[in-house]
Chains A and B, each alone.
Chain A
Amino acid sequence: MSVENKISTDIESYLKEHENKDMLRFLTCGSVDDGKSTLIGRLLYDSKMIFEDQLAAAESESKKYGTTGEKIDMALLVDGLQSEREQGITIDVAYRFFATDRRKYIIADTPGHEQYTRNMVTGASTADVAIILIDARKGILTQTRRHSFIVNLLGIEHVIVAINKMDLVGFSEETFKEIKSAYTALAEELGIKHTYYIPLSALDGDNVVEKSENTPWYDGKPLLELLDTMDISRKETAENFRFPVQYVNRPNLDFRGFCGTIAAGSVKVGDEVTVLPSGKTTKVKSIINAGDITEKSREVTTEEAYAPMAVTITTEEEVDISRGDMIVHTKALPRVSNSLKVMLVWMDETPMEPGTVYDIKRATTVVSGNFEHINYKVDVNTYERQSVHKLGLNDIASCKMVLTQPIAADAYKENRLTGSFIVIDRITNNTVGAGMIVGVSRREEDIQKLTTREYTDAERALNQYIRDNFPEWECKKC
């Protein structure tokens, strides 16, 4: 029975099935000429996410700006801003949506040019899967290397290599194999976990939704089927429990709950937990899963909750817990440090110079800090390491970050949500950078010693005097 048939004859059972859909977020990497927007337009069109009025609008615009002659320019269905439509390029991240019977999809559609690296990094930050488009006539280009590097840097474990414009190389198996073997080498060099290869023609729809008759030699799945069936689970419950405290909810004197989204792992009532960075311990008294709350029963609780649920936790003891703290299982503590090795992507026109103080927002924690040292900058095209003294727009570098307060620090590789941060300029308020924690810097031990030093009353008074009268020195409390 076709989907339409099912919808028209038994909508209720259709809805029942669709309650249990999964969600997958993917990123498309490629430039104007690779047919990226065309591929997205095709996915939306073939999965019936494009309505007739939108199609009519695209048709009229095709005549004005179109680049495909008689055919409707699929790219015009997705290029959003008027300035982009005029120039025929995608300059910002756009999010698109479609759904199949199995999954709901969120596409991050990002520009491919080097000057838009930051936009691609942005799109990659939330994606589970990346589709890297390669023009079959051109093979692996510099941009392919760049896109692959970013995808890997942002921790995307599944890469679909879409070898597009196969119609223009006569659907040659030879060409497909050559590109596949060249990319396999690249993936190995970078350490990309899972790769998949598909010969495509986005313009005509070959191997997009249906298997193409033009590629009888291809024994894999068409793109949409592959997306529908790939296993992207990260086994959140197997991980260590991480709960960044987002908001303290105190509706009345009897209730004090800590709201947040579980970043990893799971938690049960009665679990022994530690609050970081203070190190105080307590037990979980109750858990409210916000999703379970209804208009009628506003006080439902649950025994266990797991990532990525939005929950509210209450504790046995009255412990001082506030926004920015991290609650973790006492049996699985992360390292706590103010000196971290990070990978930093610079996103602002004004260069980053070591020593400049920025605000760092990591999960719900905001602390000031600086990048004390640039270890090396990576050339995203050649992967060569360079020694530099400052970072310009789109530069990616390994740095040492020093914060004014210690934080519970997970490596990005282990936890995307507690291992990532953004950098905010304290004057313009702009998001000027994005970073990923690689690990705790080795000098951490020394700093730990410093922070546990005992001070005399006179020293404390001096510290207080400086903090009261010279705030611009950013003196820490002792």
Chain B
Amino acid sequence: MITKERLTHLKQLEAESIHILREVAAEFTNPVMMYSVGKDSSVMLHLAMKAFAPGKPPFPMLHVDTLWKFREMIEFRDQRTKELGFDLVVHSNPKGKEMNISPFEHGSKVHTDIMKTEGLKQALNAGGYDAIIGGARRDEEKSRAKERIFSFRDKHHRWDPKNQRPELWNIYNTRINKGESVRVFPISNWTELDVWQYIYLEGIPIPSLYFAKERDVVEYEGTKIMVDDERMPEALRKKAKKEMVRFRTLGCYPLTGAINSTASTLPEIIKEMLLSTSSEREGRLIDKDQEGAMEMKKIEGYF
């Protein structure tokens, strides 16, 4: 029963997330928030703007640019930075840049390892951050369901799933030694539906890639990917067809599958999501590499 004295589930989740963000600001000396430009990042940014009002978030946003993100994502990122006035740090792995790492040529595993996992580690080492705020949710993947909200990482950024600190009530253990860090997931308890409903209710801006539009797509490794630039091999590009598609997650364009859809408004997206029968990450090629893939990646230091 909802009375004046009982907050709705979204307001409870919002309050919990804000509590977590403030705890980070209060307890760590050099925190950073991961900003991936996707819908979850947009929600996180929104929460951070609320938590520290009338001031601004007392930490910068970090974007690990793999150089293969959708062009629109970069434009959107820069526009939001200007509108909200937060500090943005962008990092791309210089070694990978030099080697011209390409998901088409080197495959998703090599690309992700070098540009995403390595790039992230470099950026974190360079920044010397002691707390890294991320937008992962427990409903996304089975190994994430077991991760703490304040998740300890050793000095090699590794996660030890069998040796996690107990986490009780809303009391978070923020103690670390020099060189170690904590990954913090303020929206751990949100589901995909919660995120969409919140975006809808609060009117949070998100990239238009989430909305259906006619786009040039090609079949690639079992999913449809969008032709976003000239770097896609010509043989592939030649097969491009115009289709009404949208994206359920945003990442590197060659690794992000589009779905056929006509959903061009938030209610339509939510409707499609509620009636769909495949989970959110299906369009993401990373997880399917091997069984337990995400668990492996997390142990290695990937979010």
CA distance A410 to B235 in the complex (A): 70
> Would you list which residues of chain B between 284 and 303 have a CB under 8 Å from chain A?
291-292, 295
**Which A residues touch B197, using CB under 8 A?**
15, 18-19
- A125 contact from B5, B6, B161, B169, Cβ within 8 A: B169
- A249 contact from B13, B52, B144, B277, Cβ within 8 A: B52
**Which A residues touch B143, using CB under 8 A?**
80-82
Task: Tell me the minimal C-beta distance from A79 to chain B in angstroms.
Answer: 8
- B5 contact from A19, A78, A237, A359, Cβ within 8 A: A237
CA distance A22 to B143 in the complex (A): 27
- B271 contact from A8, A118, A250, A417, Cβ within 8 A: A8
Q: Residues 32-49 of chain A: 1 if any B CB is under 8 Å from the residue's CB, otherwise 0?
A: 000000000000000000
CA distance A91 to B267 in the complex (A): 39
Stretch at the interface among B53-61, B86-94, B108-116, B207-215: B53-61
CA distance A246 to B50 in the complex (A): 15
> Size of chain B's interface in residues, with CB distance under 8 A?
76
**Which B residues touch A94, using CB under 8 A?**
145-146
- B19 contact from A93, A255, A310, Cβ within 8 A: A310
CA distance A290 to B25 in the complex (A): 15
- Chain A, residue nearest B168 (CB): A125
Q: How many A-B residue pairs have CB under 8 A?
A: 220
**Which B residues touch A19, using CB under 8 A?**
8, 10, 197, 201
- The answer to whether the Cβ of A298 comes within 8 Å of any Cβ in the partner chain is yes
CB of B2 within 8 A of CB of A251, answer no
Stretch at the interface among A137-145, A328-336, A424-432: A424-432
CA distance A208 to B138 in the complex (A): 24
CB of A299 within 8 A of CB of B54, answer yes
CB of A422 within 8 A of CB of B171, answer yes
- The answer to whether the Cβ of B236 comes within 8 Å of any Cβ in the partner chain is no
Q: Residues 110-145 of chain B: 1 if any A CB is under 8 Å from the residue's CB, otherwise 0?
A: 000000000000000000000000000011001111
CB of A81 within 8 A of CB of B271, answer no
Task: Tell me the minimal C-beta distance from A384 to chain B in angstroms.
Answer: 26
CA distance A231 to B295 in the complex (A): 38
**Which B residues touch A422, using CB under 8 A?**
166, 168-169, 171, 173
Q: Residues 33-56 of chain B: 1 if any A CB is under 8 Å from the residue's CB, otherwise 0?
A: 000000000000010011111111
Which of A106, A235, A250, A260 neighbours the largest number of chain B CB atoms within 10 Å of its CB?
A106
CB of B5 within 8 A of CB of A306, answer yes
Stretch at the interface among B186-194, B219-227, B239-247: B186-194
Stretch at the interface among A97-105, A172-180, A455-463: A97-105
Q: Would you give 26 A-B contacts (Cβ < 8 Å), ordered by A? A: A7-B274, A8-B275, A15-B197, A21-B9, A22-B1, A23-B13, A53-B279, A57-B291, A81-B143, A82-B295, A85-B292, A99-B191, A119-B166, A122-B167, A246-B22, A246-B23, A259-B52, A261-B170, A288-B54, A308-B15, A347-B166, A359-B175, A417-B169, A420-B168, A431-B168, A434-B166
